Amino acid sequence: MSVVTAFAGMTRVDPVVFKANCPDCRARFELAASALRLAVGATPRTTFYSFTCPECGEAVRKPAGERIVELLTGGGVRTLRLHSTL
């Protein structure tokens, strides 16, 4: 809820859903922005998004390219910026 409030003034407030699939049980589903987390690292290799599969409960983590990062952040997905110590 606080996420929606934070973005209400600057972006569209349409409900945004992202299509995803689970590599574990192969289910396909749609996720709301609040069900996703994005972690942006120093390199594409450490940039990924994650969610919990609604079908099997598996924690899924996938690499996120530039385009996906834009898509997710634009859709109001919570973003965590990682700071590499390397």
Tracing tokens 């994005």 back to the chain, one arrives at 38
79 binds Zn ion (CB under 5 A): no
Indicate the residue among 16 and 53 with the shorter CB distance to Zn ion.
Answer: 53
Residue 42 found at the interface with Zn ion (CB under 5 A):
no
68 near 61, Cβ under 8 Å? no
Q: Applying CB under 5 A, which of residues 6, 8, 25, 82 lies at the interface with Zn ion?
A: 25
Stretch that binds Zn ion, among 9-17, 42-50, 56-64, 70-78 (CB under 5 A): 56-64
* Residues 77 and 36 sit within 8 Å (Cβ to Cβ): yes
Residue 21: CA count within 13 A, CB half-sphere: 5
The residues of the shown chain that bind Zn ion, judged by CB under 5 A, are 22, 24-25, 27, 53, 55-56, 58
